[in-house]
Structure 1
Amino acid sequence: MTPNHRGILAMVAGMCAFVTNDTLVKYVSQSLPAAQLIFLRGVFASLLLLAAAQAMGLLGGVPALRDRRVLLRAFLDACATFTYLIAVFNMPLANATAINMATPLVITLFAILAFGERVTPARWVAIAVGFLGVLLVVQPASEGFNGYALLCLFGTLLHAARDLMTRTIPRSIPSLLVTLSTALAVTLFAGSWTLVQTWVPVAAWQLGLLAAASLFLSAGYYLLIVAMRDGEMSLIAPFRYTGLLFALVLGYAVWGDVPNLLAWCGIVLLVAAGLHVLLAGRPRPAP
């Protein structure tokens, strides 16, 4: 199997894992405070990843996690997790996922601003069309508009920054340990938050769902890192959009969420623009 094939499979499987995790935590969020459930899920995920690292003989490499690029990536991921999940708890899952699908477009914008890459007029049009699609999904003039959609957009910026940082981490640091650093950062962040909130009693079924969510979350973290490190980014990144299909199915099955006509138009524009930007080839760096 080629690196591109491995990267594509990792991206598709990772998106499925992330959306399944989102569904489970959104369901539990109806009865547990956000910080508490993220902390409990993080504890489960951290223990799972520590056990996996021990089984694979990787714990000796833990000191490498002090690398500033690993620490910055973990911090960005922790912030992105909180902003995105809080948005997910307060809006339809498919719509939140569609907004998050703007990440490939934001990565392109970051590459232009940070690395001085040249972009053709056609690409600028595609980027504009993609964000028009996001606005159609958010629908700022509709009765259902609230600040959580904007929070989801901010989370998208953080996710893009996290993905760009992943590319800078030395390959000598195993992907599993990078995954562990993220899980620990999210857990510590959530644990700090719980100190200023009232702790709610947790039922066995809630713990069970959060343990299951931690399994999908850990798999998603790992698979995304593998996808971002393996193969051609321009070929692999568009498969991020498969997460939207999983979100639509689960959102309908669990909550009966169906995007309205404008949202469907926005989703189509967003996906089409993202595919165009990412499949048209890499822009040449400025001289």
Structure 2
Amino acid sequence: MNPDNRRGILMMTAAMAFFIANDALVKLVSATLPTAQLIFVRGLLCTLLLAAVVARSGVARQWRSALTATVPVRALFDSMATFTYLTALFHLPLGNATAINLAAPLFLTLFAVLLLGERVSAGRWALIGLGFAGVLLVVQPRADGFNGYALLCVGATLLHAGRDFMTRKVPASVPSLLITLSTAGMVTLLSGVWTLLDQWKPMPPLALAQLTGAAVCLAAAYHLLTLSMRAGDMSVVGPFRYSGLLVALLLGYVLWGDVPNALAWVGIALLVAAGLGMLHSERARARAALDAAMD
């Protein structure tokens, strides 16, 4: 496999684990704090953490490289996705919201084909479809499960795909940490404006601790996601978002006692099969390219 794709896959998998941990923590906090307040507090903590990392790493000296239109546009996509997704998440089961959001690779692959001219074989399309079928089997959506908040979550999924597409448009000279910091700062700024229209509530120590943990997870996830989308092919790395569903299942069991039924386990098997199939497809393509070069 292409080393860049391998790194992209590993970083995407780690990013999804951190994202799901963040989702679980903020969902717990949403029972006691308003949406705007918790997004602002988490965003402020995340921004301060990232700013400290940027200062320590020395990349702050390259701040002028981030003065390109693609950086704030990407941050705006991410901010809108954050607001819409978290609003939906607070009114949907974690598994449902996670599964809907994992449809992003379908949109992402479409963007890659239409806008970047990437070639995706019928077999790889089938594997992506297989993974999505696995998601549906795990979630087992019913008519009462897909309401207005589910549609809002679909909109967030499209925005997430747009953010990932814009990541590839950011010049390689812009350090990933600066991209991540700009995103966290945009979320904090916009949510801060939102709090002016909402009522603040006293923050219990447990909620502050949970939001601090969420901020750490989010900072790591932001950075790893940016690195993954810049490292590998979008149509190869994107489907590994499905790994986040496994983390969601584990946290759902630990926090809420949710246990998958037989159909859900079949869905998990399909997700694993789709991931392994994608890896095999990439290896076969790389071998074919190498054989062609040697002829």
TM-score by length of 2: 0.83
Q: Which moved more, 1:227-236 or 1:7-16?
A: 227-236
Q: Which residue in the other structure is 2:205 paired with?
A: 204
**Structure 2 counterpart of 1:191, one-letter code:** G
Quick check: 1:94–1:259 contact (8 Å CA) kept in 2?
A: no
Q: Which residue in the other structure is 1:151 paired with?
A: 152
Q: Which residue in the other structure is 2:189 paired with?
A: 188
**Structure 1 counterpart of 2:215, one-letter code:** S
After TM superposition, give the deviation of residue 203 of structure 1 in Å. 1.5
After TM superposition, give the deviation of residue 111 of structure 1 in Å. 2.2
Residues 137-176 of structure 1: pairs in structure 2 closer than 5 A: 141-176=142-177
After TM superposition, give the deviation of residue 95 of structure 1 in Å. 2.1
Q: Which residue in the other structure is 1:83 paired with?
A: 84
Alpha-carbon separation, structure 1, partners of 2:265 and 2:147? 19
The answer on 1:21 being equivalent to 2:22 is yes
Q: Deviations over 1:89-119 (max 9, x none)?
A: 1111122112211111211112233345565
Quick check: 1:138–1:149 contact (8 Å CA) kept in 2?
A: no
For structure 2, the 5+ residue unaligned runs are 286-295
After TM superposition, give the deviation of residue 122 of structure 1 in Å. 5.3
Q: Which residue in the other structure is 1:9 paired with?
A: 10
Residues 226-245 of structure 1: pairs in structure 2 closer than 5 A: 226-245=227-246
The answer on 1:250 being equivalent to 2:263 is no
Distance 1:109 1:237, change over 3 A: closer
Q: Which residue in the other structure is 1:107 paired with?
A: 108
After TM superposition, give the deviation of residue 264 of structure 1 in Å. 6.1
Alpha-carbon separation, structure 2, partners of 1:200 and 1:170? 42
Alpha-carbon separation, structure 1, partners of 2:192 and 2:170? 26
After TM superposition, give the deviation of residue 147 of structure 1 in Å. 1.3
Alpha-carbon separation, structure 2, partners of 1:113 and 1:275? 26
The answer on 1:216 being equivalent to 2:200 is no
SS of the residue aligned with 1:142?
coil
Q: Which residue in the other structure is 2:290 paired with?
A: none
SS of the residue aligned with 1:167?
helix
Alpha-carbon separation, structure 1, partners of 2:59 and 2:233? 27
RMSD, aligned α-carbons: 2.8
Alpha-carbon separation, structure 2, partners of 1:6 and 1:123? 20
TM-score by length of 1: 0.85
Q: Which moved more, 1:201-210 or 1:26-35?
A: 201-210
**Structure 1 counterpart of 2:144, one-letter code:** E
Distance 1:38 1:279, change over 3 A: farther
Q: Which moved more, 1:103-112 or 1:206-215?
A: 103-112
Q: Percent identity?
A: 57
Distance 1:243 1:71, change over 3 A: same
Alpha-carbon separation, structure 2, partners of 1:64 and 1:144? 45
